[in-house]
């Protein structure tokens, strides 16, 4: 299932072109061509769902829906759903980062205009395909579309602050709101139909080029989401719909007080009683988008960090047993193949590793973690790698390799100046380099390793510093914004990657 190969980590938002944000249009297809020319076999993306709080792909309005901001506006124009004037009125957006508020306003309005034209005057064949899409996805699409329409009426307030009838999903009130917001819900369904159509086209192009798409499935969903609103029985909520306890992790490399994510925790007993039906539907929907998927925070399926709802940090909490092997056995019985990669980073116990190995999920290793004073650091050293591993220079939560190497440590609360000095000396000694750019030393080390899969964030391929960092855990703003420039993927970079792929049999 996981032959020896390599790939690039790049989220859709980070592509150039589009209107203020990367999309599924020409730049995505051109990036796929670059990957193929560079000998890469995997394109790893972050969650594709519609982002909510903090513009984070790990805090989304739905675990099933695609992000409408990724819809290629030019494709809508080419099909007659937008006018030249619609696109000509685009504001000037920065090239190297996303200004989410402005992008949401502009592209949201474009998608609504296209939806209106489609619903009123779309081609008959397109309407038949749309109706078929709505039927096939009704198990999540109806709730999602109504949720998003209701959010707009309530001025984007979280669902726990909506009118009581719709908040509690009273059946008569649901029918009333569905009738009242019919066009709005249809517009949201159109956006999902269009996203799906454009994504399928991109994925098919990648697969023809021999590239697999690796997606990302977060373990938790946002409290303010269609998932929690539509299925409150699956989550630990009080009578008002607020979380009784919160998700996160204890103090770690990234934060001395831990990470308080704020997501509600699952009622795993209720999920099990249903045969984990919601999860099966979720995984099945995700595997329509992806060829293989990284299970974010895999260790939470064995045991999760439970934080009191009134806690101000994640330092106060306790480990609670998760669903374990029974959960994955149920998934396997239903779905047969589970093409998962386990994100087994953080506080990992023998029980977590036993669960991963029981189902044959490759784990992860980040080279940036190998040289510091973390007790688990030695497991990240390449001489300790196993073949059933996905090795990275760094991940989306890390600084770039150049940024990490040149950092003063101020962004990482658990690294002192002395720690950094020792870390650099060890890195030099272990990797045996002097003047070679550190990003290419790390890339070569990962690709030369025995790990079956090597993944490199594009920022490391481009040799960029901390300004190109995707996310700093524990911070609520300023993340997920980085984009690469239109002409950044040079012939020299492509050939350098291809030579390494050939040299190390990837």
Q: What gap in Å lies between CA 227 and CA 269, rounded to an integer?
A: 17
Q: Strand 453-457 vs strand 389-392: parallel, antiparallel, or unpaired?
A: parallel
**What is the CB neighbour count within 10 angstroms for residue 8?**
20
Residue-by-residue DSSP string for 283-333: HHHHHHH-SEEEETTTHHHHEEEEEETT-SSTTS-EEEE--THHHHHHHHH
Beta bridge partners of 144: none
Q: What gap in Å lies between CA 289 and CA 74, rounded to an integer?
A: 22
Identify the residue whose tokens are 């049999």. 505
Structure tokens at 174: 């649901």
Q: What gap in Å lies between CA 111 and CA 124, rounded to an integer?
A: 20
Identify the residue whose tokens are 């990490």. 404
Q: What gap in Å lies between CA 93 and CA 82, rounded to an integer?
A: 20
Structure tokens at 397: 């939560």
Active site residue 78: no
Identify the residue whose tokens are 């209720």. 270
Strands in 340-342's sheet, in edge-to-edge order, are: 340-342, 292-295, 212-217, 42-44, 5-9, 453-457, 389-392, 363-366
H helix or E strand, kind and range, residue 498: helix 491-503
Catalytic residue among 143, 224, 302, 343: 343
3 state DSSP class of 232: helix
Could you write out the three-class secondary structure of 47-76?
CCCCECHHHCCCCECCCCCCCHHHCCHHHH
3 state DSSP class of 226: helix
Catalytic residue among 296, 353, 374, 419: 296
Q: What gap in Å lies between CA 58 and CA 50, rounded to an integer?
A: 10
Catalytic residue among 143, 397, 399, 423: 397
Residue-by-residue DSSP string for 405-471: HH--STTSTT--HHHHHHHHHHHHHHHT-SSS-HHHHHHHHHHHSS-SEEEEEHHHHHT--GGG---
For residue 398, which phi and psi values (nearest 5 degrees)?
A: -90, 160
Q: What gap in Å lies between CA 91 and CA 103, rounded to an integer?
A: 9
Residue-by-residue DSSP string for 106-153: HHHHHHHHHHHHHHHH--HHHHHHHHHHHHHTHHHHHHHHHHHHHHHH
Active site residue 397: yes
Q: What gap in Å lies between CA 380 and CA 383, rounded to an integer?
A: 9
Instruction: Cite the active site residues.
Output: 296, 343, 397
């Amino acid at each position: 299932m996981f032959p020896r190969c390599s790939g690039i980590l790049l989220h859709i938002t980070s592509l150039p072109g589009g209107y203020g944000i990367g999309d599924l249009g020409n730049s995505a297809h051109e990036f796929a061509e670059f990957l193929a020319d560079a000998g890469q076999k995997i394109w790893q993306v972050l969650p594709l769902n519609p982002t909510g709080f903090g513009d984070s792909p790990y805090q989304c309005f739905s675990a099933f829906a695609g992000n409408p901001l990724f819809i290629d506006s030019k494709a809508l124009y080419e099909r007659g759903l937008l006018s030249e004037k619609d696109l000509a009125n685009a504001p000037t957006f920065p090239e190297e980062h996303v200004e989410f508020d402005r992008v949401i306003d502009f592209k949201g309005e474009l998608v609504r205009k296209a939806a209106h034209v489609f619903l009123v005057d779309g081609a008959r064949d397109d309407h038949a395909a749309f109706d078929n899409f709505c039927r096939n996805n009704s198990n999540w699409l109806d709730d999602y579309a109504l949720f998003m329409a209701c959010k707009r009426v309530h001025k984007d307030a979280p669902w726990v602050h909506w009118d009581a009838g719709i908040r509690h999903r009273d059946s008569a009130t649901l029918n009333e709101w569905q009738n009242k917001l019919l066009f709005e819900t249809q517009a949201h369904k159109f956006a999902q139909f269009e996203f799906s159509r454009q994504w399928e086209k991109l994925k098919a192009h990648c697969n023809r080029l021999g590239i697999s798409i690796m997606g990302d499935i977060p373990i938790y969903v946002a409290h303010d989401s269609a998932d929690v609103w539509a299925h409150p029985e699956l989550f630990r909520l009080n009578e008002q719909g607020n979380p009784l306890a919160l998700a996160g992790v204890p103090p770690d490399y990234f934060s001395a007080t831990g990470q308080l994510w704020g997501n509600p925790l699952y009622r795993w007993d209720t999920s099990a009683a249903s045969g984990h039906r919601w999860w099966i539907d979720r995984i099945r929907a995700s595997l329509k988008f992806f060829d293989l998927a990284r299970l974010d925070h895999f260790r939470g399926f064995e045991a999760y960090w439970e934080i009191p709802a009134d806690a101000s940090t994640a330092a106060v909490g306790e480990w609670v047993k998760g669903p374990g092997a029974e959960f994955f056995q149920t998934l396997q019985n239903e779905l047969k193949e589970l093409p998962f990669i386990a994100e087994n980073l953080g506080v990992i116990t023998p029980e977590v590793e036993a669960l991963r190995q029981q189902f044959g999920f490759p784990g992860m290793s980040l080279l940036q973690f190998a040289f510091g004073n973390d007790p688990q650091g030695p497991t990240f050293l390449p001489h300790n790698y196993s073949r059933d591993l996905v090795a990275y220079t760094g991940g989306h939560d890390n600084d770039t390799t150049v940024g990490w190497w040149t950092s003063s440590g101020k962004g990482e609360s658990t690294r002192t100046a002395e720690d950094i000095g020792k870390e650099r000396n060890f890195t030099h000694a272990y990797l045996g380099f002097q003047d070679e750019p550190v990003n290419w030393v790390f890339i070569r080390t990962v690709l030369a390793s025995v790990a079956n899969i090597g993944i490199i964030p594009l920022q490391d391929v481009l040799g960029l510093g901390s300004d190109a960092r995707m996310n700093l855990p524990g911070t609520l703003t300023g993340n997920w914004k980085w984009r690469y420039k239109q002409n950044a993927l040079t012939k020299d970079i492509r050939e350098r990657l291809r030579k390494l792929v050939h040299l190390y049999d990837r």
